[in-house]
Amino acid sequence: MGTVVTPPVRLKDGARLYSVLHPPAPEPSPTAPPPVTVVLLHGWTLDNRLWQQQIADLPDRLGAPVRLLAFDLRGHGRSSATHGADATLGQLGDDLAEVIEQLVPEGPIVLVGHSLGGMAIMEYAHGHAADFAARVVGVVLVSTSAEGSSRTSYGLSPRLARVMRVLEIQGAGLLARSGGWRPHRRLMPLLAPGVRWLVFGHRVDTSWVALTASMVGNASLCAIGGFRPAVDLHHRVETLAAMRGLPAAVLVGSADRLTPVACAETIAHELPDADLRVCDDAGHMLPIERPDDVTDAIVAVIRRAVPRRRRSAGKVEAHARKLVKKVRAT
């Protein structure tokens, strides 16, 4: 499937976001309805490469036309750096709205978010409720939380977890003032064992750790530090109501130290029709650790969403025909 690096999405505040389309956008057709577009949002300190396996597998697994859009959140990957004040989840929700407006101006959308990306989806649903209701036909939330980091334990005892959280937040404050530098990139080989322990489960391939370390190395210091307080303050349990009735899936690893199973259970409780999948022995990086589970969940949501969309379109068409008959009768 073809891949196109689109020109950077230039946002209203001047930020530029790196994005890729798979395949390139087709020419508009007056007869054929636009295919479903799956928009993939990566997690904190990562980039669009998180989704490389899903991008490779989804079209064949689905067996139907589908467009895939992945982009680097501000301050991450190849996107422009963030600047303290705009390192908020509300800003990420606004960014998503602009990306959709510019790159996916029509057609149904399935939103897929990992960790911070899932929180950005919740912020989009909160801050752009009308657009969310009009465009989004399905949601997949992977290793994420609607309750910030309140349940994060790092796999430690409650006392050690509290100490760890304090140290992390203090360190984040320093990093947030460090600008767009990436000096930690050279240190990532030394930090790899810590990355392995923190975000992966019991079975780990060295290539997974290498890819994750590379993505973290590409995140600017100000983004690493700047978004940490936003994650802490995130609380969008009530916003999940906007997703009720949509085909949805919620995935979590049984050994996730950052967004444990309890986070997914809270989301699933608010979305009673969602498919909750707990991946045994997996950690926080499910798109890499359990790529087939994530891909299958996306496929299932799309398949549930398309008939639903056709029924809704049929109701609209039937209503339109009734209106035409009334007009002709008068």
Structural tokens at position 298: 């996306």
Nearest to 301 by CA among 125, 123, 39: 39
Nearest to 229 by CA among 5, 44, 9, 39: 44
C-alpha 12/C-alpha 60 separation (Å) is 36
Q: What is the DSSP letter of 72?
A: P
Structural tokens at position 270: 């608010």
Structural domains of the chain sorted by starting position, each given as residue range(s) with its CATH number in brackets: 4-329 (3.40.50.1820)
User: What is the pLDDT, as a whole number, of residue 96?
Assistant: 98
Q: Is the dihedral of CA 40, 46, 48, 50 positive or negative?
A: negative
- What Cα–Cα distance (Å) separates residue 31 from each residue in 27, 105, 136? 12, 17, 22
Nearest to 37 by CA among 57, 58, 18, 17: 58
Structural tokens at position 37: 């577009």
Show pLDDT as tens, one digit a residue, over the chain (330 residues): 566 667 889 999 999 999 999 886 666 666 677 889 999 999 999 999 999 999 999 999 999 889 999 999 999 999 988 876 788 999 999 999 999 999 999 999 999 999 999 999 999 999 999 999 999 999 999 999 999 877 776 666 566 666 566 556 655 555 555 555 566 777 788 888 989 999 999 999 999 999 999 999 988 887 888 788 888 889 999 999 999 999 999 999 999 999 999 999 999 999 999 999 999 999 999 999 999 999 999 999 999 998 765 454 444 344 334 433 443 444
User: What is the pLDDT, as a whole number, of residue 320?
Assistant: 35
C-alpha 8/C-alpha 126 separation (Å) is 26
C-alpha 285/C-alpha 201 separation (Å) is 8
User: What one-character-per-residue DSSP string does 7-36 give?
Assistant: PPEE-TTS-EE-EEEESPPPPP-SSSPPPE
User: What is the pLDDT, as a whole number, of residue 326?
Assistant: 44
CB distance 100 to 39 below 8 Å:
yes
Q: Is the dihedral of CA 93, 94, 97, 99 positive or negative?
A: negative
User: How does strand 9-10 pair with strand 16-17?
Assistant: antiparallel
User: What is the pLDDT, as a whole number, of residue 220?
Assistant: 84
Nearest to 248 by CA among 122, 73, 150: 122
Structural tokens at position 181: 């530098």
CB distance 141 to 249 below 8 Å:
yes
252: helix, strand or coil: strand
User: What is the pLDDT, as a whole number, of residue 71?
Assistant: 97
The number of residues in the chain equals 330
**Cα–Cα–Cα angle for 145, 151, 153, rounded to 5 degrees:** 120
C-alpha 164/C-alpha 156 separation (Å) is 9
User: What is the pLDDT, as a whole number, of residue 267?
Assistant: 98
User: What is the pLDDT, as a whole number, of residue 258?
Assistant: 93
* Tens digits of residue pLDDT in 60-100: 999 988 999 999 999 999 998 887 678 899 999 999 999 99
**Longest pairwise C-alpha distance within the chain:** 79
User: What is the pLDDT, as a whole number, of residue 70?
Assistant: 97
* DSSP run (H or E) holding 42: none
